[in-house]
Chains A and B, each alone.
Chain A
Amino acid sequence: MAASGAEVLPGRREGGGGEAAVLRGTRGRCWRSRSKAASCLSIPSRRDNAKLVSCGGDRQLFYWDVSSGRVIRKFRGHDSEVNSVKFNEYNSVVVSAGYDRSVRAFDCRSQSAEPIQIVDSFQDSVMSVILTKTEIIAGSVDGTVRTFDIRMGREVVDNLGHPVNCISLSNDGNCILAGCLDSTLRLLDRSTGELLQEYKGHTCKSFKMDCCLTNTDAHVVSGSEDGFIFFWDLVDASVVSSFRAHSSVVTSVSYHPKDACMLTSSVDGTVRVWKQ
């Protein structure tokens, strides 16, 4: 955890207490899983917070039971370290993005550890993946944000021209916020693929960092490599606020989907919960 940072996704249905529990649980899991994984990169949990899945440098995904703290399943298939992993809407599929230029989908319901779908149209490491009800969206270092529409059977490639570090979906689902490695966040219109806005001011050049939108979609949040956290106005891209949150690189920023509550984690080994 200290090596690469952790991402904690508060459960959607949980209140304030639940988040803390998940947070604690996540840390516990992280320590435990460190024996197996070289590093733990991403730990999303299911909507009901009953299971979580973690990924890391050991090329496999760990499917955890939160209550017991045991590994239910390990999904193998990636050829190198796994950068990001997400549950789908029904918690039945885990989709992971790896350094092996592929996005793989694993079936949580079957006993098989083999991926049920491999997408390898990327030209470089896939850094981030998000899922909607019908789509898999993944951002890659090759500068593309690819949307795989399962319902339509289409792959839409938005080439941003800069390595995509992190992608994040707006709460209304119409926009993608892509954090690029040229210290710029880009807001894309999903339907047309056009660039709506660029947000600059922070530094993001070499770390895998996260960005997100606030619960009201009014602001854009991202960490910075100098330990700052930046808030931009969504519309006019002005820096609304920036403050020093951590002593080192802020690796992950996660906003509560409903409340004004934010989690940040840093390379310095701290996870901070921000509340109004």
Chain B
Amino acid sequence: MDEGDEDYVVYGTPIEREEETSARKRRAIADAGQLRALPPWKQEVRDEEGRRRFHGAFTGGFSAGYYNTAGSKEGWTPQTFTSSRKNRADVKQQSIYNFLDEDDIKDMGGRALETSMQFDTFGFTAAELARKEAEKEQEKRPSAIPGPVPDEIVRPAANSIGIKLLMKMGWRQGRSIKDTHADSLYESRREARKAFLAFSRDKDGPELAEIESSRSESEKYPERSDDIFGGTKSTPVYVLNPKQDLHGLGYDPFKHAPEFRDRKRSRESRDKDRGNNKTGKYAPGFGIGALEELDIEDEDIYASGFDFEQMEVEEVEPTKMIGDSWHKLVDRKRGSMLSFKVASNSDYVLERFRPPVIPADFESRHKFPTTLESTNKFPELPPPEVPPPEDNNLRLLIEGSAAMVARCGKSIEDLYKEKSKTNQLFLFLSGGEGHNYYERKLWEQKQKRGDLGRQNNTKSMKSSDEKMNAENRGKVLGERPLDRSSKASSLSVDVKEVIHLQSNLGDTFIKPVGLSESLKPFKYDPAKQERFEQFLREKYHGGLRAAQPFITNIMSETDRARERLDFEAAAEAIEKGTWSKEKETDPLSILKDLPFINDQRFVSSTEVEKHGVSKDEQKVIHPKREEFEWRPSPILCKRFDLIDPFMGKLPPVQRPRSRMDSLIFMTETIKSSKSEEAIASTRDSILLSHSESKETEKQLITQETDAEPIAADVQRPVDLYKAIFSDDSDDDDADEGNSGHSTDPVKTNEGANMTLNRLVAGDFLESLGKELGLEVPTDKPGPPDKPPNSILVEAASKGDINSSSVHEKLTSQHEEFDRPMEEKHKDNISKSADNVVTNLSINQNEESKPHSRHQRSRSRTPDSDSSDDYRDKKRKTHSRRRRSRSPSTDSSSDRHRSKRNRSKATHRKRGTTDTDSSSDHLYRDRSKSEGKSRKRSRHHKHRRKDGHKNR
């Protein structure tokens, strides 16, 4: 628990123990004497035990109160009791200010009791106060310069020293300056009167005497009173009437309302009167006789407030209110300020512009050309659709003439009509056979010509005619039409050039696409030719088709489809330049020639390939374009600051680095298999069988580890090869090649070992059984549901194997795998023969390995062998086991064969060095990179593992 105590965290101060109090008490007692000596406000309040006692936060904690009382330093006096019985009248008006501190009152904006700056002997402060009041009022009024700044800048001057001196001398505001003698006299008289009045107020009795005395006084100083009267008229302080209204300068509000001006004048005069006899109020009290002059002394000094100067702050102009001093400002009536005068004639002439002249032909309403046109066009109803006359010639004639008329106008029709009088053929014009059909055709043609005309118009007309759609906008902006449309529109060389130059070189002008005369496939049918051109145009323009009501009207769906086919064929033919005269007559013959045209309409994505195919057939136009996948190396992407497009995908099949590798990878790509065919004859059988065995084992493993994705198959031979036969350098090479490898090496190793074990175990059991003379049923090497037979055959056919040894080996393996499923009563002899071949083939592999190693790694150091991993060890043990049970004849033949092969291989190598430079280079490449790759091998292994983990 003690340990637990240490874990507690203590906050705050601990409460002192009781035993300590005694000491403190003693100290407190000792201090008590000193405390008394201190002034009371320095004394600290302690209880009898000498502890400071807390009074609570609200009252201020320890230091609240005054010596533990509710008093203060100044003392505490309770409110004196006043009986409400006598003093019933003054009911105490309680307001919030009664309960607030001075500070609080100040905060609330209330007026606290303050000491004034000056000792207000003469009521000067009150005047000042009034002035301040006026200023405040000024603030509320709208001023030219907003904000409080002007008031701060333009400050009413404080009393100058002169005024101060004067005031010391007895002068006060509103008085004229007189000699001090008179003043003093006046003062004394005034004092006396005051005293008298005060006296008379108390006692009603002696008022008469007082009046007497006062009268006598006034009689005593008759001349002075005159003086005084004059002295009271000190120069008044005029407040130049500030502009309170919102009128402009010099604006006379009464200009058009003179009656109000009169009223104002009367008011002014009234004010003037008031100003003239502005001598203050007179005390209504007694003691002033009726005969007494109105004097300053008679003012009611007890009346409320003081008599301060009138402030003329009214809107009304104080015109001739006061004497001469005002004269300068009086001009106000004429609307001028001090030094500004209203000019009699102003130079300023407002400049006015004439309104624009509206052209005579201007119409105020906007006209929409297209709708107008349509309204022009469509009122005349189309003539009913009429079946063409049976006579084909007549039909053609009608159509042709209709087109002609539509194109050239009415005059040509008249001409034809003229002709028709002589020629029977043209009877249809004037109502003969086929007239209806002619009318119909004519209408169509007119429609069409209108359409075409609109299309062939100049650009400006076009822009005004057509609404702005995406296509037009694109043209204006110089965008290129979509690839497909432009491709399809490549009719002939010149048209194509026009298209591309205008689209690609940024030209915005559009040349009307016209076909040269020679490229009119439907010359015999102008209408059709028109439609064809229309079709081409559409094809070129791309985008949405314009609605063509006439087509839907005149042609059935099938007709249209057929015609469209014709058009496309023709366009295609033109594009290819294979259009010829004889085909002109029958457009359908083109269709027969070009059977894929139909598809072309629907398949656009394969267009490129189709072009290629057709060009191969016809030996025509270059350039042709093909696309392949190409895989940039990650480092290249990085250096180009691009994201690897194949990031995270399986690495591509690496190009074989040496002939050795190429042998192994041959079956993987078509290209390489072809090349393998080419050199298969010169290849030594061992290597082939080697690769084949690899192949088979690979297949086995894919069967066993069934869950593996198929894509991994591509990688498999490499890993397998490494797993089984590779030494360090092989490992490195493969690693270097497939640095981005995602296959699991351990897994494949295990798989390979499993396969090997199984094979070897089968062999071993068989051979053991043979030796013992027993029939031993072999293990099932693969899953019984899928016989490896087919795979092996497949592999064999893929590899295009010619050599007999491979066949032997293959058959042996077939039989070996098939045995458990097919039959168990095969005789011993055949079995042993099989066995021999099997062992042979496996040992061939064994032999070929060091051979190949020797062949490839000429510069290898021997110590690299020591770094063989456990796989190699395992392999060695396998081989040891195999060797131990294989008969000596096998090994000898083996050796023979391998020797022969080696010599053959070296010979071939020597032979090919000068001819096959690229492969030679590959060799060099390999040997060069080998040293480095070995260095990096460990690193690569790590990376590969990491890659696997990430996966």
Known: A79-B921, A133-B640, A234-B505. A194 touches B627 (CB 8 A): no
From B243-251, B262-270, B618-626, give the one contacting chain A: B618-626
> Does B633 count as interface, using CB distance less than 8 angstroms?
yes
Complex CA gap A54/B522 in Å reads 60
Complex CA gap A152/B483 in Å reads 18
In the complex, number of A-B residue pairs with CB atoms less than 8 Å apart: 123
Flag if B921 contacts A157 (CB, 8 Å).
no
Choose among B504, B630, B633 the residue that contacts A189 (Cβ–Cβ < 8 A): B504
B640: chain A residues at CB < 8 Å are 88-90, 92-93, 133-134, 150
Choose among A116, A152, A162, A193 the residue that contacts B625 (Cβ–Cβ < 8 A): A193
Query: Quick one: CB contact mask for B69-81 with A, threshold 8 Å, 1 for yes?
Result: 0000000000000
> Does B496 count as interface, using CB distance less than 8 angstroms?
yes
Flag if A93 contacts B639 (CB, 8 Å).
yes
> Does B643 count as interface, using CB distance less than 8 angstroms?
yes
Query: Quick one: CB contact mask for A230-266 with B, threshold 8 Å, 1 for yes?
Result: 0000110000000000000000000000000000000
Shortest beta-carbon distance from A190 to chain B in Å: 9
Known: A116-B633, A191-B483, A196-B497. A158 touches B505 (CB 8 A): no
Flag if A195 contacts B639 (CB, 8 Å).
no
Shortest beta-carbon distance from B930 to chain A in Å: 13
Flag if A150 contacts B629 (CB, 8 Å).
no
> Does B152 count as interface, using CB distance less than 8 angstroms?
no
> Does B918 count as interface, using CB distance less than 8 angstroms?
yes
Flag if B622 contacts A161 (CB, 8 Å).
yes
Flag if A116 contacts B628 (CB, 8 Å).
no
Known: A192-B487, A197-B497. A154 touches B921 (CB 8 A): no
Query: Quick one: CB contact mask for B424-457 with A, threshold 8 Å, 1 for yes?
Result: 0000000000000000000000000000000000
B84: chain A residues at CB < 8 Å are none
Which residues of A, 102-143, contact B by the 8 Å Cβ criterion? Answer: 105, 107, 109, 114, 116-117, 119-121, 133-134, 143
Choose among B487, B626, B632 the residue that contacts A159 (Cβ–Cβ < 8 A): B626
Q: Which residue of B lies closest to A120 (CB)?
A: B655
Known: A88-B639, A162-B622, A194-B496. A153 touches B918 (CB 8 A): no
Known: A116-B633, A161-B623, A192-B483. A154 touches B628 (CB 8 A): yes
Complex CA gap A192/B918 in Å reads 34
Complex CA gap A93/B507 in Å reads 36
Flag if B645 contacts A152 (CB, 8 Å).
yes
> Does A48 count as interface, using CB distance less than 8 angstroms?
no
Flag if B639 contacts A194 (CB, 8 Å).
no
Which residues of B, 459-506, contact A by the 8 Å Cβ criterion? Answer: 480, 483, 486-487, 490, 496-497, 500-501, 504-506
How many B residues touch the partner, as a band? 35 or more
> Does B646 count as interface, using CB distance less than 8 angstroms?
yes
Majority DSSP secondary structure for residues of A touching B: loop
Q: Which residue of B lies closest to A157 (CB)?
A: B626
Flag if B483 contacts A148 (CB, 8 Å).
no
Complex CA gap A217/B630 in Å reads 31
B386: chain A residues at CB < 8 Å are none
Known: A153-B646, A192-B486. A148 touches B632 (CB 8 A): yes
Complex CA gap A88/B635 in Å reads 14
Shortest beta-carbon distance from B492 to chain A in Å: 13
Flag if A157 contacts B625 (CB, 8 Å).
yes
B621: chain A residues at CB < 8 Å are 195
Known: A107-B635, A189-B500, A196-B504. A151 touches B642 (CB 8 A): yes
Flag if B918 contacts A194 (CB, 8 Å).
no
Known: A189-B504, A196-B500. A155 touches B629 (CB 8 A): yes
A235: chain B residues at CB < 8 Å are 501, 505, 507
A172: chain B residues at CB < 8 Å are 506
> Does B185 count as interface, using CB distance less than 8 angstroms?
no
Flag if A92 contacts B483 (CB, 8 Å).
no
Flag if B626 contacts A117 (CB, 8 Å).
no
Flag if A195 contacts B483 (CB, 8 Å).
no
Flag if A117 contacts B627 (CB, 8 Å).
no
Complex CA gap A85/B646 in Å reads 26
B623: chain A residues at CB < 8 Å are 145, 158-161, 186, 188, 193-195
Flag if B627 contacts A157 (CB, 8 Å).
yes
Flag if A93 contacts B917 (CB, 8 Å).
no
Complex CA gap A229/B315 in Å reads 94
Which residues of A, 166-209, contact B by the 8 Å Cβ criterion? Answer: 172, 174-175, 186, 188-189, 191-197
Flag if B641 contacts A90 (CB, 8 Å).
yes
Complex CA gap A151/B640 in Å reads 9
> Does B637 count as interface, using CB distance less than 8 angstroms?
yes
Flag if B629 contacts A195 (CB, 8 Å).
no
Known: A174-B504, A193-B623. A116 touches B639 (CB 8 A): yes
Flag if A151 contacts B645 (CB, 8 Å).
yes
> Does B636 count as interface, using CB distance less than 8 angstroms?
yes
Known: A189-B500, A235-B505. A160 touches B642 (CB 8 A): no
B642: chain A residues at CB < 8 Å are 134, 150-151
Q: Which of B496, B501, B636, B642 has the most CB atoms of chain A within a 10 A radius of its CB? A: B636
Q: Which of A143, A154, A162, A186 has the most CB atoms of chain B within a 10 A radius of its CB? A: A154
Choose among A89, A116, A154 the residue that contacts B635 (Cβ–Cβ < 8 A): A116
Q: Which residue of A lies closest to B490 (CB)?
A: A194
Q: Which residue of A lies closest to B640 (CB)?
A: A150
B504: chain A residues at CB < 8 Å are 174-175, 189, 196
> Does A156 count as interface, using CB distance less than 8 angstroms?
yes
Shortest beta-carbon distance from A128 to chain B in Å: 16
Flag if A154 contacts B625 (CB, 8 Å).
no
Query: Quick one: CB contact mask for B207-249 with A, threshold 8 Å, 1 for yes?
Result: 0000000000000000000000000000000000000000000
Shortest beta-carbon distance from A184 to chain B in Å: 11
Shortest beta-carbon distance from A209 to chain B in Å: 20
Flag if A155 contacts B622 (CB, 8 Å).
no
Choose among A121, A156, A196 the residue that contacts B627 (Cβ–Cβ < 8 A): A156
Shortest beta-carbon distance from A102 to chain B in Å: 9
Complex CA gap A105/B635 in Å reads 10
Which residues of A, 79-96, contact B by the 8 Å Cβ criterion? Answer: 79, 88-90, 92-93
B655: chain A residues at CB < 8 Å are 120
> Does B948 count as interface, using CB distance less than 8 angstroms?
no
> Does B631 count as interface, using CB distance less than 8 angstroms?
yes
Flag if A194 contacts B630 (CB, 8 Å).
no
Complex CA gap A192/B503 in Å reads 12
Shortest beta-carbon distance from A266 to chain B in Å: 30
Flag if A79 contacts B918 (CB, 8 Å).
yes
Choose among A100, A109, A150, A196 the residue that contacts B632 (Cβ–Cβ < 8 A): A150
Flag if B630 contacts A148 (CB, 8 Å).
yes
Query: Quick one: CB contact mask for A27-62 with B, threshold 8 Å, 1 for yes?
Result: 000000000000000000000000000000000000
Shortest beta-carbon distance from A235 to chain B in Å: 5
Flag if A105 contacts B636 (CB, 8 Å).
yes
Shortest beta-carbon distance from B785 to chain A in Å: 40
Flag if A154 contacts B487 (CB, 8 Å).
no
Complex CA gap A46/B207 in Å reads 123
A153: chain B residues at CB < 8 Å are 629-632, 645-646
Flag if A155 contacts B486 (CB, 8 Å).
no
A174: chain B residues at CB < 8 Å are 504
Complex CA gap A156/B641 in Å reads 21
Q: Interface of A with B (CB < 8 Å)?
A: 79, 88-90, 92-93, 100, 105, 107, 109, 114, 116-117, 119-121, 133-134, 143, 145, 148-162, 172, 174-175, 186, 188-189, 191-197, 217, 234-235
Which 5 pairs of residues, A with B, have the shortest CB-CB distance? A161-B622, A193-B625, A155-B630, A153-B645, A150-B632
Q: Interface of B with A (CB < 8 Å)?
A: 480, 483, 486-487, 490, 496-497, 500-501, 504-507, 621-633, 635-637, 639-643, 645-646, 655, 917-918, 921, 929
Mind listing 10 A-B residue pairs with CB under 8 Å?
A92-B639, A93-B639, A133-B640, A134-B642, A145-B623, A153-B631, A156-B627, A159-B622, A161-B623, A194-B496
Known: A121-B628, A154-B628. 17 other contacts (CB 8 A): A107-B635, A116-B635, A145-B623, A148-B630, A151-B645, A153-B645, A154-B627, A155-B629, A156-B626, A158-B624, A160-B623, A161-B622, A162-B622, A172-B506, A186-B623, A194-B623, A234-B505
